[in-house]
Structure 1
Amino acid sequence: MTITEFIKTDVKAALQAQGKLPYKLTLGAMSEHYKVSLTPVRHAIDELVDEGVIRRKDNGRLELVPDALKGRKVETPAPAAYEKNLEEQIRKDVIARSLQQDTEYLREQATAEKYGAGRTVVRQIFSRLAGAGLIEHVPRCGWRVRAFSEQDMHDYLDIREMLELKALDLARKHFDEDELREMLKTNRPARGSDQSRLDFDLHDYWIERCGNRYIREFFARYSPFYNALFNYAVIDEKVKREMAQEHCEIIECLLERDWKGARQALSNHIRDQREAVSRMIEYLNSNKLAS
């Protein structure tokens, strides 16, 4: 859901539920209420005018159209749905820059204008991305993208494989068969025209249950940055299907108490992520050269 779509839906939901809006029907008041720039507000109003929910008077002022939504079904948007969508867009842009070694500073105002958002919202998103290790704040300069290093990735995966296999061993007695079967449902390779189902939280299952705080602290500190890159590298259905199949293989081995098989499947799965990210780098670089 875009910011414009969120504003439109929220306006209609408020009108249907209360018959009025909790702010003045002006560009400035709506921009302040939704904490966004005037652009998405203006687009939302234009579309609401086209739909007959709002009309422009001869003097240019806006007014609500009584009973315009009578008989219509309006869904209430999830709180901050537009902000979640905005954060995903900015996150993807940051990851692409990281993979392309583009460490140019991000400016809050420029980013806000680019996405038609409020500067406060952008600052909050940048803070969360910094917490995930994707960017860092440099006083008086802005926010700097963390440049991806292929050698760092290989080093991380070496340590990750060793520690995650250890976590898997330590967590054996804490596995629950019903929980494992539930995870099988959330990790399914595609069949026919269906889309693959992939649960990226699978690895947290044994990390959280391993009982070793040093292992947990390692993943809490270093995994957010690389997980974001690995998840971004799942660029097509073929890759998703392969990863879902690998997830299922690990879970099925755990259900059968085939610890050796589970360790081997997990090891293979982690090593395959090197290739996924390498393909992503090649893809981004080829697009950069073509543009």
Structure 2
Amino acid sequence: MKSDTVYKAAFNDMLQLLATSSVGVALPPEHNLSRHLGVSRTTVRKVLLEMAARGFVAGEGRSRILAHMPPESARFSDAETQSTSSQVERQFMEWMLRGDTKPGTLINELELARLFGVGTTGIREFLNRFQRFGLIERRPNAGWLFKGFTEDFAIELFEIREMFEIRSALAFAELRPAAPIWSRLRAIEREHHELLGEIDERFHDFSDLDNRFHRLVNSAVPNRFIDDFYDIITFIFHYHYQWNKRDERHRNEVAINEHLAYIAALFSRDRDQVRAACNRHLSSARMTMLRSFGR
């Protein structure tokens, strides 16, 4: 499953790269594509073979050229490029939020597996990550107890988030204009405007968009330890503070506008603007989190 989703994501990124080129132009060497797409050369070759089979690419080795501009329909859907673990994470977080789950809630992995349409192994692996931090306790018969977390725990975690995200945001602004991440940022920007226009009916949908935006920013500096740790960060900062239902619609509208200012700063590539927008949004998120603890 993992290799398939990695391949499909790389295929989509390759399509984006080709969209910035012209028919007849030579493709970069495989090692350059590997570095640009962030995947192995084996995956690159698999992508190129499929591109050739569809008639988008012609030639071999260093003589490959763009033979035909791929249509937008050639892209794999977002669902196909998400790993099972990512799907479980998104569904679990939505389940926790929509169900207004509080400390002391019992969680049954068999029920979650049926609800999410995945195997119990995927559910168990995901919950085990929280167990390491003392947020969830395993019980007999496929059961888990959600224990919650303290204000001190959340503040300490927030400090890590701030340090890493500011570093990632500054690195984001330094990326080449042709990098696929810019088109993803533009797509997320459109989603923000769409949600803002329907905020009265869809303000609950901000949670998923918030998560995806911050993960995109952090992807500018890949780090396997932070990637794993970010599951906890997501849970605390993108979901917990929303359990405070007071003014939720207004808070989400404010956050959307902060995101749009943050996105505009990233597109400006001005380090001072990026740092200021990032700090402003994270400071606001910290205040929202502290209010959820009754401050």
TM-score normalised to structure 2 length: 0.50
SS of the residue 1:143 aligns to: strand
**Partner residue of 1:185 out of 185, 190, 198:** 190
2:234 to 227, 233, 238: 227
- Do residues 204 (structure 1) and 204 (structure 2) align? no
Work out the CA distance in 2 between the residues paired with 1:93 and 1:187. Answer: 21
Cα gap change, 1:258/1:145 in structure 2, threshold over 3 Å: closer, same or farther? Answer: same
In terms of fraction of residues, the more helix-rich structure is 2
Decide whether aligned partners of structure 1 residues 95 and 137 sit closer, same or farther in structure 2, where only a CA change above 3 A counts. Answer: farther
Matched residues in 2 for 1:160 and 1:275: separation? Answer: 14
Contact kept? 2:170, 2:274, Cα under 8 Å: no
For 1:253 and 1:125, the matched residues in 2 are separated by 37
In the alignment, the residues of structure 1 paired with residue 107 and residue 184 of structure 2 have an alpha-carbon distance, to the nearest angstrom, of 42
- Cα shift readout 1:18-59 (whole Å, capped 9, x = no counterpart): xxxxxxxxxxxxxxxxxxxxxxxxxxxxxxxxxxxxxxxxxx
Letter in 2 for 1:224: D
- Cα RMSD (Å): 4.1
Aligned to 2:281: 269
Letter in 1 for 2:213: L
Cα deviations by residue, 1:49-106 (Å, 9 ceiling, x for unpaired): xxxxxxxxxxxxxxxxxxxxxxxxxxxxx9xxxx9999567534887323xxx3x654
Contact 1:230 1:276 in 2 (8 A): no
5+ unaligned residues in a row in structure 2: which ranges? 1-78, 80-87
Percent identity over the alignment is 18
Q: What secondary structure sits across from 2:145 in the alignment?
A: strand
**Counterpart amino acid of 2:283?**
R
* Structure 1 unaligned residues grouped into runs of 5+: 1-77, 284-291
Name the CA distance, whole Å, in 2 between partners of 1:94 and 1:128: 22
Instruction: Give the match's secondary structure for 1:174.
Output: coil
CA distance in 2 between counterparts of 1:144 and 1:249 reads: 39
Greater CA radius of gyration, 1 or 2? 1
Whole-angstrom CA distance in 2 between matches of 1:94 and 1:124: 23
CA distance in 1, matches of 2:94, 2:152: 27
Superposed displacement of residue 260, structure 1: 1.1
Contact 2:185 2:263 in 1 (8 A): yes
The Cα of 1:250 is off from its aligned counterpart by: 0.8
- Judged with a 3 Å threshold, the aligned counterparts in structure 2 of structure 1 residues 87 and 205 are, in CA distance, closer, same or farther, namely closer
